[in-house]
Amino acid sequence: SIYEREIKAEDLKKLSRLKLLSRDHTVYIITADKEARVKRMEARGRYPRIKFGIDYVNKWLEISEHNGQVIIDYIKVNYKYKLITNT
């Protein structure tokens, strides 16, 4: 699963062969920095996957951060895009 392990650009190349997204379209990347995301989780009073324990959550967040950046970098190289930062 993309959420359980660190991915590489090669993983995304496999998906791009499915031609789910045309290179003529613009991809909108909506992102928030880590601090903003953590504040939102704290405000909600819950963390994703907390039932697996805090160590799992911390590792999962680390992997998610890494994978999100890999996906953004891949989009920037392969598609037209607009980056929207949500604070």
Residue 9 has pLDDT above 70, yes or no: yes
Closest CA to 40 of 51, 29, 53, 31: 31
Residues 6+ apart with CB under 8 A from 61: none
pTM for the model stands at: 0.82
Tell me: the pLDDT tens digits for 17-76? 766 677 788 999 999 998 998 899 999 998 889 999 999 999 999 999 999 999 999 999
- Give the per-residue pLDDT at 11: 87
- Give the per-residue pLDDT at 2: 66
- Phi, psi of 53, rounded to the nearest 5 degrees: 105, 155
